[in-house]
């Protein structure tokens, strides 16, 4: 299966040029000429990578990236204007996988696409599907399910669940979860962990099966490998 690449770029000539070159290389492509359309396509289509221009009508590229990262870990390469240092920094901060500065050579773009896709394939090998009872989580595909029924999670909810499942049967303190999911430099309330555990429970727990995420009073949270 060729990789599918979404090109979000409002300059028709650039978009067309990139599309032709990518198709020549054997990739499947789709195009969007504004931010909102690009975001919708990214969230509903199955793409392996998005090329995302920063300066876009409607939603700009950084806003598209921010909204995408609430729901998806799809690899993103930002297309930034020369000297737009802030765009690069903000883009990487917000979870872009790489960026390329305009004007770029097609060889450079292809090399970056190959590198990002390779990293994704390596992550797939490194991160096998996690299972705790009926709950499954696939880090490489960024999907989760309970008893085979898909669960839609935001980026942070997913990271929190992944962290709990990778450490199944081991009680995780709020501080440990905070570091793993929000990063060492997180400034804010530690109760953000409790808030997100509540979100997760609303999505996973149901009256029909046992509790999945257990509170260990005074310590933190744990998920049991057996699922109960
Ligand atoms: Ca543009």
- From ligand 1's centre to the CA of 165, what distance in Å? 41
Tens of pLDDT along 93-114? 778 899 999 999 999 999 999 9
In a domain, 31, yes or no: yes
Phi and psi at 203, nearest 5°, equal -90, -30
Tens of pLDDT along 130-169? 988 888 998 877 889 887 788 888 888 999 999 999 999 9
Which residue blocks in the chain are alpha helix, DSSP H? 12-24, 35-44, 61-69, 85-93, 106-126, 155-166, 174-177, 192-204
Whether the predicted model's global pTM rises above the 0.95 cut: no
- From ligand 1's centre to the CA of 10, what distance in Å? 5
Residue 176: the pLDDT is: 92
Do residues 58 and 150 both lie within one domain?
A: no
Give the residue numbers spanning the domain of 143: 130-223
Alpha-carbon distances, residue 10 vs 16, 84, 162, 207, 221 (angstroms): 10, 18, 36, 48, 46
Do residues 147 and 108 both lie within one domain?
A: no
pLDDT string in tens for the chain (228-residue length): 789 999 999 999 999 999 999 999 999 999 999 999 999 999 888 899 999 999 999 899 999 999 988 777 889 999 988 676 777 777 777 788 999 999 999 999 999 999 999 887 766 666 678 988 888 998 877 889 887 788 888 888 999 999 999 999 999 999 899 988 988 677 777 789 999 999 999 888 766 666 889 999 989 999 998 876
Examine the fold and report which residue of 126, 150, 167 is the final residue of a domain before the chain moves on.
126
- From ligand 1's centre to the CA of 33, what distance in Å? 9
- Residues in the chain, total: 228
Residue 127: the pLDDT is: 67
- From ligand 1's centre to the CA of 9, what distance in Å? 6
Residue 209: the pLDDT is: 62
- From ligand 1's centre to the CA of 26, what distance in Å? 25
Do residues 168 and 209 both lie within one domain?
A: yes
Do residues 143 and 102 both lie within one domain?
A: no
Examine the fold and report which residue of 104, 126, 148 is the final residue of a domain before the chain moves on.
126
Domain count, the chain: 2
Residue 1: the pLDDT is: 78
- From ligand 1's centre to the CA of 195, what distance in Å? 38
């Amino acid at each position: 299966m060729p990789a599918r690449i979404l090109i979000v770029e409002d300059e028709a000539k650039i978009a067309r040029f990139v599309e032709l070159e990518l198709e020549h290389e054997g990739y499947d492509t789709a195009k969007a000429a504004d931010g909102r359309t690009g975001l919708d396509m990214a969230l509903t289509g199955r793409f392996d990578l998005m090329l995302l221009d920063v300066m876009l009508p409607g939603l700009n590229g950084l806003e598209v990236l921010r909204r995408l990262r609430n729901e998806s870990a799809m690899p993103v390469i930002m297309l930034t204007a020369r000297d737009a240092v802030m765009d690069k920094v903000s883009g990487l901060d917000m979870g872009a996988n790489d960026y390329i500065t305009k004007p770029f050579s097609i060889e450079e773009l292809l090399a970056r696409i190959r590198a990002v896709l390779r990293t994704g394939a390596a992550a797939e090998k490194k991160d096998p599907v996690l299972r705790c009872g009926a709950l499954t989580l696939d880090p490489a595909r960024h999907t989760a399910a309970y008893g085979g029924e898909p669960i839609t999670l935001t980026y942070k909810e997913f990271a929190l669940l992944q962290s709990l499942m990778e450490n199944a049967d081991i009680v995780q303190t709020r501080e440990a979860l905070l570091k793993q999911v929000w990063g060492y430099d997180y400034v804010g309330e530690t109760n953000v962990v409790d808030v997100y555990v509540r979100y997760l429970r609303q999505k996973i727990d149901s009256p029909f099966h046992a509790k999945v995420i257990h509170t260990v009073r005074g310590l933190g949270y744990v998920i049991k490998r057996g699922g109960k």
